[in-house]
Amino acid sequence: MHAPRSLPAALSFTVLLLVLSGCELNTAWNNPYPPEHAQSNRIDSAFSEQPAHLDPARSYSADEYAFIAQIYEPPLQYHFLHRPYQLEPLTADSLPVPRYFNAKGESLSAAAPTDQIASSEYVIRIRPGIQYQPHPAFAQDATGNYRYHHLTPAQLTDIKTLTDFPATGTRELTAEDYVYQIKRLATPWRHSPIAGLLTERIVDFADLTAHITAAAPPAIDGNRPFFDLRSLPFRGAEVIDRYSYRIRINGRYPQFLFWLAMPFFAPMPWEAEAFYDQPGMANKNLTLDWYPIGTGPFFLSENNPNLRMVLTRNPHYHAEHYPTSGSDEDRAAGLLTDAGQRLPFIDQAVYSLEKETIPYWTKFLQGYYDSSGVSSDAFDRAIQFDNDGSAALSPELTQQGIQLTTAVNTSIWYLGFNWRDPVVGGTSERARLLRQALAIAIDFEEYIAIFANGRGMIAHSPIPPSIFGYRAGEAGVNTAVYTWEQGHARRRSLIEAQQLLTQAGYANGQDPTTHKALTLYYEAMDSGPDSKAQLNWMRKQFAKLGIELVIRATDYNRFQEKMRDGSAQIFMWGWNADYPDPENFFFLLYGPNRKQTGGENAANYHNPEFDRLFEQMKDMDDSPARQAMIDQMIAILRHDAPWAFGFFPQSYSLNHAWLHNVKPNLMANNTLKYRRVDPIQRDQLRTRWNQPILWPLGVFAILLGGLLLPVIFIIRHRERRSAYQ
Amino acid sequence: MTAYLIRRIWQALPILIGVNVLTFMLFFVLNSPDDMARMQLGDKRVTQTAIDNWKAEHGYHLPLLYNASASGIETVTDTIFFQKSAKLFVFDFGLSDSGRDIGYDISQRLWPSFAIAAPSLVIGLMVNISLALLIVLFRATVIDLMSVAVLVVLLSISGLFYIIAGQFVMGKLLHLVPISGYDTGLNAIKFLVLPILIGVVAGIGSGVRLYRTFFLEEIERDYVRTARAKGVHEWVVLFRHVFRNALIPILTGVVAILPLLFMGALLTESFFGIPGLGSYTLDAINRQDFAIVRSMVFLGAVLYIVGLILTDISYTIADPRIRLANS
């Protein structure tokens, strides 16, 4: 019976040892990173969803761009600091200037009318000397043959990841790589999401797709063998010389330059496909969709989407320098401190899988992540609003040296009315007044306050700030819904909304045919219990006018289906800009772009005058004339009210004091190269903030002992008593 | 024994086919192949041609269960169900709809799940059995009554609460362990301490209460009285005699879940950032990746059947009076 007696003593002794050792160890026990990385020049971040695709032909979402935009380099990029967003060359030596041609192939001036322009031509010259990251696809033997382009099953047996290939190589970036990638966009089995768009825009794109389909070898066990696209003739994209290539566009399409800043148009060496498309590679997850190969500042050195993704500095990265120009605010914020310095600043960026917001937030506060968003759970603790509505950090976070950065997103949430619906849609005055009354009654200020923690800016038009065409202040007010009073936009009263409703023939919200409350139908994306409050709120907005709103909550698949077949009546949806041009918002309301015809005009709005203006505006350069045209288009939309313009979401991001050069750039995805960290300061603060606290363990052990001792005493007492007792 | 095993495996086949059919139907009631294609291709700018291309490339252009345009056996084999499900029976999981090898992902993810589940089960069993025996020692006393009350409270608390509270106290307040994360090899240990501890503590309420019931049933038996009459020490009576005879119902619950330890725990893995199999299925459902969903359901069904067979075998070991019938 020695064991029970010695248990509390052993526990106490252990805890005492722990306490003593803990006092001496000046380290953070809760550090999730290996000790050898304590002062490494790297960024610690997280991802919540594993990226679905890393192939630049296919990838089209923000969580994927977070990785591939650091690896692949399209010819153009957005200036890191300038606003409004401004394109600049990345691998190109200058911004390409389009040349225009008529149907006979004769050159036209830039001022030529759009209807005379049959095609546009962009000649892009890339800078010589740019090298690819080290990669086994480039590895060659002494005779110049590629070492890993004809792998046998036996050679693949021991290969599990790219690092299992002992040799790597590199080569210079050429114009042919850019043309090769454009041909990949036309390859049906690459499933590029913009293939449909490019079919309309790039000359002979559809023919190339047909050619590839006919000429390519069939798939074997679901995998396509390597099919070399270099030899395929293609007028849409041609190599001029080693460093120049030409892209031909149907008609005039000024927005094409923006596409040239997206990873879709990044270069792809043919060696990559020759390497990855070998039999047996896909079964080991060794595909171009998972192991990118680029010329960017970083390469993906560890690709374990189940655990961790690591970007490491590309040793062959070409000379690129931190911007030397910016605004006064940028200079004041220290964003020009590193002007002219060679990029990138960091050696690595480590992204750990973090699916839940609570541990993410806690680890950010502990200093184990360099930056974070602000989740709804933590919002009240992190952010405070002053009297004029400006957001500021709470004193607790300020004390930690955390900095807050906010930005209005280049996206919009809106309430759409189906133009084809007999009640809320169409050009009748009755329907128009009904829509305007509803636009007044639906209080999006309240929506932002309740459901977005105040992170949103009321939209008066489809154009968000920082996009050409946006007007701030009184000039930008939607007078159909707001009045301008004492320097602020004030939502029109419910009385005005009711008057509009009466004029529409729905006095007090009553349907004149049934003499009951008008019933409208709202299609909702039901995302679970959280959405119930939002749906109830929406119902109340309509009830303010005496209108009964029937909610049709459904999953996202069915919601999309209803949008496509045009059976929804009222709905709420959003749009995130591809590029910073008003065309990318107005096309959501362009008649021929209706959802039912495969476009993105979910409201199925159609106004001939708006469509005419849109067709002119989209081809214009930014100018006062274009602004005037945009103003006209906005006026039409405010009058017709196919949308109740909702709000532009705002993003709030936090970063620790040791992370520098943080400026939100909602168009550029390749901003990792500008980030700089102070690893010494980070390590010191992490250690200071995370000292283990051990005394509660001692208290717990004493309490446990205090409970066990009487138990042992009772047991021993019962054992010793006689049967009679 | 061999004949018994063959019979059980033979019986498992229709169960597995049934599970496959059910999974298939439930999945495609909610998601059409077009929906799956849209999920993979994205919302923006996707055309019907792109959707049709994706379906053809991934074999989702075929009819679901019956191909009326085919003839003979192909009416059944030339369908999505057959093409996608037949290979499962030789454990060829194929590629996910996003192009990753499912077998590889499963082989990578099952070990982190096992690394949490196995210690949680073993330590949990030891703790629960010890506490249950201790409470049985004080049966029909105030201590017993209070213990049961505490156990009921413990089992009434949501598992999520244990996780959040554990992370808050151990990771955030006391800074003793990383609040979440994972690593390979021995570096994984510091990440496993907290989820295992929480797994053990969260299981005490239900486990101890259940085992206490098993032990109470045994402790009034004649052989226990006989042992006591012979002067056998109370600890020995409990841990050697009562415990051993209560093993059958304990084994029923434990052995059946042994193979499922690989399948992981959704909440635990999600909150601790453990790259296990628990979240694999849910992520696949959210991404409408049917290839992963069917593979994981199939694997779960197989492991469950294996668990039941193991349970039967364990009976014969725990109680020599039990024999497996051969017919």
Kindly determine whether residue B44 and residue A193, on different chains, have CB atoms separated by under 8 Å. yes
CA A309 to chain centre: 17
Instruction: Choose the closest CB to B45 out of A34, A196, A715.
Output: A196
| Of A468, A58, A56, residue with least CA distance to B57 | A58
- Decide if pLDDT at A58 tops 70: yes
Higher pLDDT, A549 or B93: A549
- Decide if pLDDT at A5 tops 50: no
pLDDT digits (tens, 9 = 90+) for A660-674: 999 999 899 999 999
Å from B183 to nearest chain A CA?
Answer: 8
Binned at pLDDT 50, 70 and 90, residue A111 comes out as confident
- Burial of A118-149, coded b for 16+ CB within 10 Å and e otherwise, reads bbbbbebbbbeebbbbbbbbbbeeeeeebbbb
Question: What pLDDT score does B137 carry?
Answer: 86
Q: Give the highest mean pLDDT range of A528-532, A650-654, B53-57.
A: A650-654
A285, A361, A560, A709: best mutation site toward chain B, by most B Cβ within 10 Å?
A285
Question: A307: which chain B residues are within 8 Å (Cβ-Cβ)?
Answer: 182, 184, 275
pLDDT digits (tens, 9 = 90+) for A20-47: 444 445 678 999 999 888 889 999 999 9
Instruction: Please say whether the beta carbons of A191 and B40 come within 8 A.
Output: yes
Kindly determine whether residue A692 and residue B174, on different chains, have CB atoms separated by under 8 Å. yes
Nearest residue in B to A185, CA atom: B50
Question: A695: which chain B residues are within 8 Å (Cβ-Cβ)?
Answer: none
pLDDT digits (tens, 9 = 90+) for A169-184: 999 999 999 999 999 9
- Decide if pLDDT at A3 tops 50: no
CATH class of the domain comprising B102-326: mainly alpha
Binned at pLDDT 50, 70 and 90, residue A117 comes out as very high
DSSP assignment of B49-69 equals: HHHHHHHHHHTTTS-SS--TT
Kindly determine whether residue B31 and residue A222, on different chains, have CB atoms separated by under 8 Å. no
Å from A50 to nearest chain B CA?
Answer: 9
- The first and second tokens of residue B264, run together, are 């992981």
Binned at pLDDT 50, 70 and 90, residue A16 comes out as low
Binned at pLDDT 50, 70 and 90, residue B229 comes out as confident
Question: What pLDDT score does A2 carry?
Answer: 44
Distance in angstroms (rounded) separating the CA atoms of residues A356 and A352: 12
Higher pLDDT, A19 or B181: B181
Q: What residues 239-278 of chain B have any CB closer than 8 A to a CB of chain A?
A: 270-273, 275
pLDDT digits (tens, 9 = 90+) for A471-501: 999 999 999 999 999 889 999 999 999 999 9
In this predicted structure, which of A715-724, B71-80, B117-126 has the lowest mean pLDDT? A715-724
Nearest residue in A to B105, CA atom: A306
In this predicted structure, which of A209-218, A263-272, B254-263 has the lowest mean pLDDT? B254-263
DSSP assignment of A541-599 equals: HHHTTT-EEEEEEE-HHHHHHHHHHT--SEEEEEEE-SSSSTHHHHGGG-GGGBGGGTS
Higher pLDDT, A304 or A209: A209
Kindly determine whether residue A52 and residue B283, on different chains, have CB atoms separated by under 8 Å. no
Question: What pLDDT score does A25 carry?
Answer: 54
Å from B11 to nearest chain A CA?
Answer: 32
Q: What residues 332-371 of chain A have any CB closer than 8 A to a CB of chain B?
A: 352-356, 358-359, 362-363, 366, 368
- Decide if pLDDT at A1 tops 70: no
| Of A566, A615, A608, A564, residue with least CA distance to A587 | A615
Question: A685: which chain B residues are within 8 Å (Cβ-Cβ)?
Answer: none
Q: What residues 397-426 of chain A have any CB closer than 8 A to a CB of chain B?
A: none
Q: Does A195 touch chain B (CB under 8 A)?
A: yes
Kindly determine whether residue A193 and residue B50, on different chains, have CB atoms separated by under 8 Å. yes
Q: Alpha-carbon torsion A109, A111, A115, A120, what sign?
A: positive
CA A192 to chain centre: 18
Binned at pLDDT 50, 70 and 90, residue A11 comes out as low
Whether the bond into A344 is cis, omega within 30 of 0? yes
- Burial of B157-177, coded b for 16+ CB within 10 Å and e otherwise, reads eebeebbbebbeebbbebbbb
DSSP 3-state assignment of A99?
Answer: strand
Distance in angstroms (rounded) separating the CA atoms of residues B170 and B230: 48
Kindly determine whether residue A353 and residue B273, on different chains, have CB atoms separated by under 8 Å. yes
Question: What pLDDT score does B105 carry?
Answer: 87
Q: For a pLDDT cut of 90, what percent of chain A falls above it?
A: 75
Q: How many beta-carbon pairs under 8 angstroms link A with B?
A: 162
Domain at A52-286: CATH code? 3.90.76.10
| Widest CA span in chain B | 85
Q: Does B94 touch chain A (CB under 8 A)?
A: yes
Distance in angstroms (rounded) separating the CA atoms of residues B170 and B163: 10
Question: A366: which chain B residues are within 8 Å (Cβ-Cβ)?
Answer: 172, 175, 179
Instruction: Choose the closest CB to A557 out of B31, B99, B100.
Output: B31
Number of H helices, E strands in chain A: 22, 27
Higher pLDDT, B8 or A353: A353
- Decide if pLDDT at B324 tops 90: no
Binned at pLDDT 50, 70 and 90, residue A9 comes out as low
Q: Does A578 touch chain B (CB under 8 A)?
A: yes
Amino acid sitting at position A371: S
Average pLDDT over residues B258-267: 74
- Decide if pLDDT at A250 tops 90: yes
The domain ranges of chain A are 3-25+693-724, 52-286, 411-651
Binned at pLDDT 50, 70 and 90, residue A527 comes out as low
Helix H or strand E segment including A428:
none
Instruction: Choose the closest CB to A34 out of B174, B180, B187.
Output: B187
pLDDT digits (tens, 9 = 90+) for A421-459: 999 999 999 999 999 999 999 999 999 999 988 899 999
Q: Does B164 touch chain A (CB under 8 A)?
A: yes
pLDDT digits (tens, 9 = 90+) for A666-695: 899 999 999 999 999 999 999 999 999 999
Q: What residues 17-36 of chain B have any CB closer than 8 A to a CB of chain A?
A: 30-32, 35
Residue with structure tokens 């989407």? A305
Average pLDDT over residues B218-226: 89
A19, A30, A48, A310: best mutation site toward chain B, by most B Cβ within 10 Å?
A30
Distance in angstroms (rounded) separating the CA atoms of residues A92 and A89: 5
Question: What pLDDT score does A722 carry?
Answer: 64
In sequence order, which residues have a C-beta less than 8 Å from that of residue A281 and are 6 or more positions away?
A151, A156, A275, A287
Kindly determine whether residue A193 and residue B98, on different chains, have CB atoms separated by under 8 Å. no
CATH class of the domain comprising A411-651: alpha beta
Q: Does B142 touch chain A (CB under 8 A)?
A: no
Instruction: Please say whether the beta carbons of A183 and A250 come within 8 A.
Output: no
Distance in angstroms (rounded) separating the CA atoms of residues B79 and B255: 38
- Decide if pLDDT at A707 tops 50: yes
B52, B100, B238: best mutation site toward chain A, by most A Cβ within 10 Å?
B100
Å from B194 to nearest chain A CA?
Answer: 11
Question: What pLDDT score does A724 carry?
Answer: 56
Average pLDDT over residues B113-139: 91
pLDDT digits (tens, 9 = 90+) for A570-601: 999 999 999 999 999 999 999 999 987 878 89
Q: Does A60 touch chain B (CB under 8 A)?
A: yes
Kindly determine whether residue B273 and residue A189, on different chains, have CB atoms separated by under 8 Å. no
Q: Does A700 touch chain B (CB under 8 A)?
A: no
- The first and second tokens of residue B287, run together, are 């991404």
Å from A200 to nearest chain B CA?
Answer: 12
Higher pLDDT, A725 or A119: A119
- Decide if pLDDT at A723 tops 80: no
The domain ranges of chain B are 2-90, 102-326
Kindly determine whether residue A285 and residue B100, on different chains, have CB atoms separated by under 8 Å. yes
In this predicted structure, which of A239-248, A320-329, B249-258 has the lowest mean pLDDT? B249-258
Pairing of strands A348-353, A298-304: unpaired
Å from A446 to nearest chain B CA?
Answer: 29
Question: What pLDDT score does A22 carry?
Answer: 45
ipTM of the complex in this document: 0.85
Question: What pLDDT score does A500 carry?
Answer: 96
